[in-house]
Structure 1
């Protein structure tokens, strides 16, 4: 999802492009304060991932970086900022259509995004709140049962801090 051109590295431009894709998908202008805040948050994540400061994040840099600490230190803010861009009425909740726009603009397949919405909408009210969204991503990235955590070698149980 992050290596847009498939060349094996994530560039600064590729990483920040997902902010632009989400903003465009939901009709937010580049000068909107929520979009600007998201660029700032994503820039901080990229700088932290890019261990050798060459403007490119390799798989090994990402693998070394990813995990619970990185999520709490940087990803929570960056991913939360994408949620905020998609949250048109700023009520802290996304309806299904908003959620699908956010996730597909971010690079997820629509079927995966729909399954994620269904899993996160535990009370079946047709909404996913910001905290549940971030907890779901944190769990997917860092929990031992996650295919993503296993692929990146960061599988570790994470205490629930929700």
Structure 2
């Protein structure tokens, strides 16, 4: 039975339904299988031993998602080799690659949840009404324990950028 959560998020002020559990700090991060491209997949285990900042966006082709991904790409340069920043959306992998090339984004890894929305369901951010992933930021330590969670109330708003970066820096200390 898939869990549906209502009254937790909106799109332009209208309620949306999120599918999946509400993950909390201290939870073990669920595994995922996402597409790097049409043939190559990535799982959480591919990033073992790294601190992971997971930036979830509905679509890279929107203003806030574009800005969010560019911002975390800039931050990536300051965080070093022990940190990987993943941007996850339901965009097709070749659309993600095209966007990254056009935007000059080269430090974050884009992964696609387009096939079955399994990431969105596992992380509790799949929007039932749109089959897109809702805007969120997760920070996982090297052992894949969730150390920071931010699921936005309004899909169109920017996340707090400073808090997840501070959470990553605390894990690096």
Q: What TM-score do the two structures reach when normalised by structure 2?
A: 0.26
Give the number of the structure whose residues are more often helix, by fraction: 1
Give the number of the structure whose residues are more often strand, by fraction: 2
